[in-house]
Amino acid sequence: MRHLYWHKKRLVILQLRIEGLPDDHPCKPVCLFYLSRLFSSVGNWVEQRRLLIHALKLQRGQGGDYKIAMLLKELSGVNQLMGLHREGIKAVKEALGIFKRLGETVDQATCLIEFASLFRDDKQFDVAEGAALRAIGILPEKGKEPQVCRSHQTLGEIYRSKGEIEKAIHHYELALEIASPFNWHNIMFWTHYRLAQLFRREDRFEDAQAHVEHAKSHAADSVYNLGYATEEQAWVWYGQDRFEEAKSEALRAANIYDKLGAAKDVEDCRKLLRYIDEELNTLVVSSQSEFNCEFLQMALFLASINFPLLSLGNRMRLSTAASVFQIQPPARVHRHIVPSPCLPLYSLTLLLPSYSTMLSPSLFVSHAHYFVFAVLPLVISNLSLVMHLEPCYRMLPIICGIVR
């Protein structure tokens, strides 16, 4: 049922037939459950949640504690994906209580893993860590390796959120070590995917790239997973300033999500594409508006050689003013915005009036002379800096007044 979305007529007929069954039909809750998983496979959490709520209501009416608990556990996972953490915790707590009453140890462990993941998203990291460790503690050493892998994946997420990177890597690698002999593609995909995210956010792009490639190799059976790996590849290249390649990969990921009907993931890709376009536009502007950075060095040099002649108060003010001339390195949009290269030049035009009161006339003229004969021609010759002409011309009367 995972890829019936590709055959829309069949999907529509299937959904109508299942939802058209009488509510007292004994198979309707389980059919709704599997139909909800079909929507999960294409990232349609809203529809999946609606179907699960309907199935849970019918199952409560028919009885069967184990089936009710399974639906509750599934519903908690969807609530988490939709950011409904409180609702998710409430659902999995009820499921855990049922499994305890029934003596289902393995299902208790899976509930604890859900608990841990939900509490991590709710930023209750210590509670989350305790739940994940309890899950590992009650699982048997052999026979339930998938659940053990999931526990280590969850611990990796928790430690990553806490900033304990080495611990996070350790638990991710334990999950890979357990899953590799069985060649469990889904577990290995998500573990490599999370490691790629971790290393990318640590600016370890070569390690991130290696895990992206591993993730892609385990996404062959899932178009949706391939979309995630493709999007992560775009983020890695974006972090490496390979913007054209990142844009191509982001468009590819958006196309995959669009065919699957995963609207939220399409929007995430569009957000990334906006970041990339902003960077590309910045590169274009920078290439068109390169100005002589020696100007900034000269401004600082002039300030430094005249520094001993200033009063203490003016020294402090000039030191503060000089700090705005420093050029900061470029940074990614998702971290923080840095001033454009034009900002220091504009800052100087605003600061020059205060120089006239801080410096002696002769010293100010030395600054103004450089400003008029070095900076102003530079501005005029560069169309991208035309916005600075007005403050530049505004300085001329002040300069001429002091010269007279």
The whole-number pLDDT of residue 40 equals 79
Report the mean per-residue pLDDT for the chain.
Answer: 76
Please report the DSSP string for 15-34 in residue order.
HHHHHTS-TT-TTHHHHHHH
Which pTM was predicted?
Answer: 0.65
- For residue 163, give every residue at least 6 positions away whose Cβ sits within 8 Å of its Cβ, in sequence order, or none: none
- 185-207 in b/e burial notation, b at 16+ Cβ within 10 A? bebbbbbbbbbbbbbbeeeebeb
- Domain spans of the chain? 1-63, 294-329+339-403
Is pLDDT larger for residue 327 or for residue 133? 133
| Long-range contacts of residues 31-39, Cβ cutoff 8 Å, at least 24 apart | 32/58, 33/70, 33/71, 33/74, 34/1, 35/1, 36/74, 36/78, 37/1, 37/2, 38/1, 38/2, 38/4, 38/5, 38/11
**108-141 confidence digits (pLDDT tens):** 999 999 999 999 998 999 999 999 999 999 998 7
* Residue 168 pLDDT: 96
User: Do residues 380 and 389 make contact, with C-beta atoms less than 8 angstroms apart?
Assistant: yes
CA contacts within 13 A on the Cβ side of 26 = 1
pLDDT of residue 264: 84
